[in-house]
A and B are shown apart, each in its own frame.
Chain A
Amino acid sequence: MKRLISEATGMVIGDPEAERSVPPTGFTARLTVFTAAAMAFLSVFALALSLATDRLADQWASELAQTSTIRISAPAEQAEAQVAAALRVLETTPGVASARALTDAEQRELLAPWFGPDLPVDRLPIPRLIEVVETSDGFDTTGLRARLQAEVPGAILDDHTRWREPLVDAASRLRLLGWIAIALIIGATGTMITLAAQSALAANAQVIRVMRLVGAEDGYIARAFVRRFTLRALAGALIGAILAGVAILTLPSADTTGGFLTGLGFRGIEWLWLLAIPVLIGVVAFFATRAAALRVLREQS
């Protein structure tokens, strides 16, 4: 571990003499920079997707989890009495912060998207709705259902569980997929950089032979390659992350009607992820190149 830290420090500080021993190779340099840039670009989008679903899941969970609805289906002449009875039950139920019956205007507004604004709510057998807001502790759903059944036969308690759970579940899975995508992208980046490093090492077999002949230790030879590939990967990843950041900025901003797609992006401190991704790719490149270099040097000895 100490040796790794020392190597990593050495890489950051740099050893230009060691690096100069290896001739610059155009093809592997371009390949590494391009791969790192492309992977960073994809990582940023996968991360944005994951964060957006995270926010959405939280939003759905918190908005729907704190409220419930009581639906009262009763003949018109009994409806008001049952609403009043239900409200009395709710007033004495622990865990209920507030409860109120929706007005005709509010019910009309709720139905307007489907039936238009002129729906005669008062003349139709539409159930009356009571909105219940819970305290942070919540109420005992089973107990409340039992009391409502006894005292308000036409009342049905809907705590939104059947709506909320599939949505939250879907959002959670989408978030998980986002993280899996990031892990795969990082893994693919490591693989590509390993292949590029191996190619560079094979192309420089003569250089390695000469360096060994004059007494270079494996660590010294590896450092020359590791530093070069790590810095290339870091530079490529920075370019990719910046381009992805710009692309995300050009997306339409989040609004209430746009829903999920317009919420794709970063908010506030989340923008720091744009810096974290190149660093992560740099770290992956460091370990991938180091492992490849030491393996090749072992095989060539």
Chain B
Amino acid sequence: MIELEDVAYSYGGAELFSGLSLKLAPGSFHFLTGPSGAGKTTLLKLCYGELLATSGHVMLFEQDAARLDRDQVAMMRRRIGVVHQDCQFLDHLTMRDNVALPLTVSGRSSAFSADLDDLLAWVGLRRQADQLPPQLSGGERQRAALARAVIMSPDVIIADEPTGNIDWEMSQRLLSLLIELNKMGKTILVATHDLNLIRAAKSQVSSRVLRLKDRQLQQAGAEL
């Protein structure tokens, strides 16, 4: 689905990582961990086409990301749901409209209105549907971001520190949603420095833990 082969990325002349390879198979669950500044967010951005590798190949659904034009990247993003730590909503739209935004931009809003209500109920936000993003708590915003990420029924869900701003109980709830999605066949990649979250997940789902450190991607797990 998503494959990185011998990838390097430099920013401002400094090499963030090099010789990095990663393959996200369909239905797999990956955690990406590592110290702050190691390049986790950059690696995720390479995985959904927001950044281009300095060298090496990034294949998104068997297409070379470097050869895609901006509109083709936009089409790819519809197959990859992204959850950011800071959520990124349009503050003038209600949560319902924000969650439905991927449908709106792809011209499918009316066809999926029933699914939208179900989805809001699934993440426990039906009551908050008509509220504006600034009126919601951090946890509610994260769940809304997850709902928005999955509304197009993407093949892959990428989450960047999704539990960074929320309490443990809410983190557990979000993790349950991600595990549920994985059981539905979605490929999940979660960047986190929360080892407790990884430990909690490992007891519920078969997952692979990758550690980005010293510019290299290593298999982790034994210590967790």
Quick check: is B104 within 8 A (CB to CB) of the other chain?
Answer: yes
* Chain B residues near A213 (CB-CB < 8 A): 77, 82, 84, 88
For window 87-109 of B, CB contacts with A under 8 Å fall at: 88-93, 97, 101-102, 104-106, 109
Q: With A20-B93, A207-B90 as given contacts, are A215 and B71 in contact (CB-CB < 8 Å)? A: no
Interface size class, chain B: 20 to 34
Quick check: is A209 within 8 A (CB to CB) of the other chain?
Answer: yes
Give bound CA distance, A21 to B93, whole Å: 8
- Smallest CB–CB gap between B189 and chain A, Å? 16
For window 93-109 of A, CB contacts with B under 8 Å fall at: none
A206:B88 contact, CB within 8 angstroms: yes
Quick check: is A211 within 8 A (CB to CB) of the other chain?
Answer: yes
Q: With A216-B74, A217-B71 as given contacts, are A211 and B93 in contact (CB-CB < 8 Å)? A: no
Q: With A216-B74, A218-B70, A301-B70 as given contacts, are A211 and B92 in contact (CB-CB < 8 Å)? A: no
Quick check: is A164 within 8 A (CB to CB) of the other chain?
Answer: no
A212:B101 contact, CB within 8 angstroms: no
A215:B75 contact, CB within 8 angstroms: yes
* Chain B residues near A218 (CB-CB < 8 A): 70-71, 74
Closest to A298 in B: B70
* Chain B residues near A75 (CB-CB < 8 A): none
Interface size class, chain A: 20 to 34
* Chain A residues near B91 (CB-CB < 8 A): 23
A210:B105 contact, CB within 8 angstroms: no
Q: With A23-B90, A206-B88, A215-B152 as given contacts, are A17 and B74 in contact (CB-CB < 8 Å)? A: no
Quick check: is A287 within 8 A (CB to CB) of the other chain?
Answer: no
Contact among B76, B77, B78, B90 for A21, CB-based, below 8 A? B90
- Interface residues in chain B, defined as those with a beta carbon under 8 Å from any beta carbon in chain A: 50, 70-71, 74-78, 82, 84, 88-93, 97, 101-102, 104-106, 109, 148, 152
